Amino acid sequence: MIRIVELTDNNLTIDLLDQLLNLLKQLSTSVEEASVTNAIKSDHSCILVAMEGDVLVGTTTMGFLYCVTGVRVHIEDVVVDATYRGKGIASCLITQAIDRAKMIKAKSIDLTSRPEREAANRLYGKLGFVKRETNVYRYTNQSQ
């Protein structure tokens, strides 16, 4: 049985942090422990994890920003362990993030996905996300 849990300072253990870091490495090689712990401690993010017993099998981050035009939510870092994919876990994580965004009256919920992540892109469409025609700009701090 999969259960979705929010990671907080109160329930974060060294074991859970290690499991989360190992899982995130399936998504990105640039994962750093400090970034993960800062996200867990932040008042502007919600780290959701999918647990099967004591095993962390999936995660997503819901970041939110209180803008003058309304609350904006962005879903990031959706990843399910390779051995657990295709079982609806990502759908459960994203649905939980959507429910939480609705509770804080988010005006919009955005996410991005690389085009080569075909299964993920199909899932996002099934969950009601619509691909937007937009210019996305990114400034990268070269000094880091």
Which tens digit of pLDDT belongs to each residue from 35-86? Answer: 999 999 999 999 999 999 999 999 999 999 999 999 999 999 999 999 999 9
- Domain count across the chain: 1
Residue span of the structural domain in which 22 resides = 2-126
Q: Residue 129: pLDDT above 80?
A: yes
Q: Is residue 120 part of a domain?
A: yes
Helix (H) or strand (E) holding 4: strand 2-7
Rounded to an integer, what distance in angstroms lies between the CA atom of residue 127 and that of residue 32? 30
Rounded to an integer, what distance in angstroms lies between the CA atom of residue 74 and that of residue 132? 14
Q: Is residue 144 part of a domain?
A: no
Percentage of the chain lying above the pLDDT 70 cut: 99
Euclidean distance between the first and the last CA atom of the chain, given in angstroms as a whole number: 41
Mean pLDDT estimate for the chain: 94
CATH of the domain at 35: 3.40.630.30
Q: Residue 144: pLDDT above 70?
A: no
Helix (H) or strand (E) holding 7: strand 2-7
Confidence at residue 114, expressed as pLDDT on a 0 to 100 scale: 87
Q: Is residue 52 part of a domain?
A: yes
Q: What does the pLDDT average to over 131-142? A: 86
Q: Is residue 64 part of a domain?
A: yes
10 Å Cβ neighbour count for 98? Answer: 18
